Amino acid sequence: MGKLPSLQRNNSQGNVKQILKGFDFTNPSRTKNSQRVRNITSRVKSTIQFVPSIGQMKNLRDFQKEINQDRKTLEEQRLAQDSQNTRLIKIQQKERCINEQYIQQKKKMGETLEILVQQAEEFNEEQRKMNEELERKKTSVVIKQDDRREKEQDLKKKDEIENQKKEQTLQEYRHEIKILEEEHKELRKKKKQLMIYHDFLNDVIKLQKEERDSNQQQDEVEKNVNGIIERFNYLQKEAEKFINEQKEMEQEQNEIKRQIQNLKSDIQSQHFQHISDLYVLKRDIDEINQDNSELLVNVEGKFSDLRGKHLDYGQIYFGINNLYQEYILLPSTLKKTNNQYGADKKQEQIEEESSNKDTTQLLLEKLNAIQRYLTTLKAVKDKFKQDCPNYQPLYKD
């Protein structure tokens, strides 16, 4: 707005219009005190309407005073407007500085979010490897247990087969012993029968000695005696052979009894050894079952902890993703849709895996820092809006 030109005494109606032509009374909203400007404008317009009657008056001093007063008022208003514009420029400069800081901080937040996403992917890969290693160890333990169970079953079957063979051998020995005992009884009977001939021959020998003593030799008797002697010799040889066979049978019987006794003792010791081995195997199986139960409990506990951590990380990532979409992404519908799809996909991937305590603490610290920064930035914006309610920002984020 320019200064009012000076008025002369011989102003006419055209001169007044020329004076007021440089002022824009139709747009009083350009200044803060718009009501006063509107009042002054209405007064000037009313004065312009009465200019013809005023031009006919002899003395225009009152009108000139009024014009001067209006000019003074407009000059004061211009100065106030310049002061308001200076304050507005300072506020705009401060806002630009805050916007630049906000853009830089937003860029840092984007970089931090990329780092967090990379760390989450690295942790997910590490967790996947740990799960594969745990599953492989669990499978190896189950395979070892199955192999040991199969070996125990094979050993048990072999022991049963050996016991059956030993029992069968023992039955055969018992049967042979019975047969030998029967043969021994038969030999005893034969021995008793042969003892009759033995006694008879002894009597004959005695008679022969008596006849020799009496020197009574007879041919027939000699022949009979010689036949009897030959028969006796034969019977004596048979008796000796029978006695030798009996001794051999007794020795063989004693040997068989000794072998049977040794076999019984061996079977009994093996039986005790098998019982001891079975007890040891049973104890080992109980220990393996207990270890498997503890391992299963530990695995279930780890899976439960991982699921809990996984849910916590899902919530943390969901909060970070909301902050990222609210303060960083452009307000484009297509881009928001794509980002939402990517966020949901990453959310599902993160919910399928778990994370550790250190990464959780780091994410929480970074999230708290982001929340503090956003709270501070929001407070600064609210204060600026309170100080400048009519301010319109140059651009919207």
Helices 219-327, 333-352: inter-axial angle, 10-degree rounding: 150
The pLDDT tens digits for 111-136 are 888 888 888 788 888 888 888 888 88
Q: Which residues contact 391 (CB under 8 A, 6 or more apart)?
A: 88, 91, 92, 95, 384, 385
pTM score > 0.85 for this model?
Answer: no
Amino acid of residue 77: Q
> Which letter does DSSP use for residue 231 in this model?
H
Question: Apex CA 124: angle with CA 119 and CA 125, to 5°?
Answer: 100
What are the pLDDT digits (tens) for 143-193? Answer: 877 788 888 888 888 888 888 888 888 888 788 888 888 887 888 887 777
Q: How confident is the model at residue 22 (pLDDT cuts 50, 70, 90)?
A: very low
pLDDT for 17 equals 47
Distance, CA of 123 to CA of 348 (rounded, Å): 15
Q: Please give the C-alpha separations between residue 77 and each of 1, 35, 131, in angstroms, as whole numbers.
A: 10, 11, 77
- Look at residue 10 in the predicted model and tell me its pLDDT: 41
Q: Is 354 helix (H, G, I), strand (E, B) or coil?
A: coil
Non-local CB neighbours of 69 within 8 Å, separated by 6+ positions: none
For residues 193-208, give the mean pLDDT. 71
Q: What is the DSSP string of 40-107?
A: HHHHHHHHHHTHHHHHTSS--HHHHHHHHHHHHHHHHHHHHHHHHHHHHHHHHHHHHHHHHHHHHHHH
Average pLDDT over residues 363-383: 64
Condensed to tens digits (0 to 9), the pLDDT of residues 41-87 reads: 666 666 555 544 444 444 566 767 777 787 778 777 777 777 777 77
Residue 225 has pLDDT above 80, yes or no: no
Q: How many CB atoms lie within 10 A of CB 98?
A: 14
Q: Dihedral sign for Cα 330, 334, 337, 342, please.
A: negative
Rounded distance between C-alpha atoms, residue 197 and residue 186, angstroms: 18
